[in-house]
Structure 1
């Protein structure tokens, strides 16, 4: 396994392996690969088991190192990126360039859970949505990349659209996502987890667990400009269905596919536009809400989405399902961190551990089941 050795994700899989009576996975930290890339070939060479590439999150030093590597790879223009404060959103395009370069340096001949090139694509949200569209998957209509607030306004005028999501192209977990609306009188509002902060004579953006609401045009413009400088795009706002219980709110879905089949699934319910569970939103009782036909539609939508990445064995999909019509919001190569969410008695890490004793359930390239 490659990833930050102290992350909750690595620890979750190690625990599942122990529970299955299997030896612990060997872990090679991404930080090690930056200084000694030959360690990847050494670790994979002679290893016949499954190789998991884990999220590089929860490791600030690694994040900084990937930003610097990406900055150099993109030409090292301007001053070197300065260290970020906790939660600061900056240099996401540099981070992506560094992470993509690291993944592309890994040996191609290995039994990856999700192969490096698929993870590279899924880490670029815009490129990923474009790939899904090319495969015939319905996604929220794209307005395209934006380079700032004025460009966003041009996109809105050209499309005749007044409600969009502005998304960080290389963000994750809702970071750098703004739900934007304007009315005919010109009043506008943006809602999201991005916090605009003026510090030391300059404006910065921080990721906040408490979503903010912006109504001043100047603040919205500055926020969009800062996000767009790191890579951003806009897509139409597709209305989410209302939760059919007494608690209210609207919801979308996170579904984890294993070998193309829907496994763990949960409704993410929010009173605001952002449904990410770590933002304090609640889980909905999906099995109680969906009749068999709706559940079948959800599973079919997940299977179609998984077909876009046939070599990736486990992907988390964010979906809207309304009146049995589905929209794919995002595939996530690292969408398996869902504590205490079970399907047929297993969580995502227990499913991964069980690959050691069960063959692939899906046709396609031959995979070698194993545990590390």
Structure 2
């Protein structure tokens, strides 16, 4: 059977697209056709045309990340899709965290304009669910997947204090790559500390006359209650929720704690690595270390990892590639997040293959048929 090929939908120049194109080239397969979001914003019908020309092609929808102008365009589109509530979104500084709820509305409008019937690697509906972290966690919980207990929406610092919990994670509902994730602690004496990659800019003010907030590559630690309140309020203004803080296990070398990123391909656990940090945030782009789980986990714990990953993947039976962040500890597992774009693990092979080589190696039959009817 002839290889039906690929159609990649994503930003122009995306590292993700380049990674899969390189993997296809290494296997001697034809290059994937590319359809860039920048063109789709102007002419949504291009997607239906491309899919109609190659109805058997495997269609992979990529992240909108790494494209600031696209991010800005989606914010504008989302603001309009929501009926233009409030003033028109202003121009954002590099790395500024703002209007994520507008971004999501714009991304949703873009994906909902795609054809419903296509041979998607991950279908648009699943991608949208995984891009709304709170909705996704509620969905996983409803499917019987173990997650950290959810504590509800957070509309600001005052509501956070009303939760009555001394250790919580506040998460931006529509964030990515750790953006807008805050770890909050309050001891019995009322002393507070907040960790996150969010950097407050006191000299810059937003539409609400509050300090602007930026996503920093250097983890921050705040102990001033005023700054803690400002950071929580800035994240909550874009949509946020709280969940119980589950303690991460200590790395075998004692140099920090870790969680795990695992990739499920066609429902089976494949790539997995430890993300090790001395702070509560473990994202690798924040300068944290990676660990080789094959050297750490005994057979029983490795089986628990695979079982937890595959149970979570089963909650999205139409999606063929999902990244999961999870904690394993004391014979238990908790899924922290499902990520439809979780395969950007550069220079991190598993059993000799990158995530993109795994996808390029899918058989012609698997490419030609959806994973599930």
TM-score (norm 2): 0.94
Shift of 1:343: 2.1
1:185 aligns with 2:189: yes
Partners of 2:365 and 2:97 lie apart in 1 by 41
Determine the C-alpha separation between the residues in 2 that align with 1:307 and 1:323: 23
**Alignment pair present for 1:89 and 2:93:** no
Q: Which residue does 2:26 correspond to in 1?
A: 19
Match of 1:369 in 2: none
Q: How does 1:146-161 map to 2 (within 5 A)?
A: 146-155=154-163, 157=164, 161=165
Sort the Cα spacing of 1:200 and 1:315 in 2 relative to 1 into closer, same or farther, 3 A: closer
5+ long unaligned stretches in structure 1: 367-372
C-alpha contact (below 8 Å) 2:119/2:370 kept by paired residues: no
**Structure holding more strand per residue:** 2
Structure 1 CA distance for aligned equivalents of residues 82 and 59 of structure 2? 29
Deviation at 1:125, TM superposition (A): 0.1
Structure 1 position 363, deviation (Å): 10
Say whether 1:240 aligns with 2:248.
Answer: yes
Q: CA deviation at 1:356?
A: 4.2
Q: 1:319 aligns with which of 320, 326, 340?
A: 326
RMSD: 1.4
State how far apart, in whole Å, the 1-side matches of 2:204 and 2:21 are: 43
Deviation string, structure 1 residues 128-187 (Cα, Å, up to 9, x no partner): 0000010011101111111110011112x2xxx210001000000000011100011111
Change in Cα spacing, 1:306 to 1:70, as seen in structure 2 (3 Å) is same
TM-score for both structures, normalised by structure 1: 0.94
Residue pair 2:204, 2:212 contacting (<8 A) in 1 also: no
Moved more, 251-260 or 25-34: 25-34
Question: Any idea what the Cα deviations from partners look like across 1:255-294, whole Å, max 9, x if unmatched?
Answer: 0000010101100000110000010000112111101111
Q: Aligned to 1:75, what secondary structure does the other structure show?
A: coil
Structure 2 gaps, min length 5:
1-7
After superposition, give the CA deviation of every residue in 1:286-315 in whole Å (9 maximum; x if it has no partner).
Answer: 111101111111101111000010000000
- SS of equivalent to 2:63: coil
* Structure-2 separation of matches of 1:239 and 1:124: 24
| 192-201 vs 87-96, greater mean Cα deviation | 192-201
Aligned partner of 2:82 in structure 1 is 74
Other structure's SS at 1:205 match: strand
1:66-113 CA-to-partner distances (Å, cap 9, x unmatched) read 000100111102221011111000000000000011111100110000
The match for 2:175 is 171
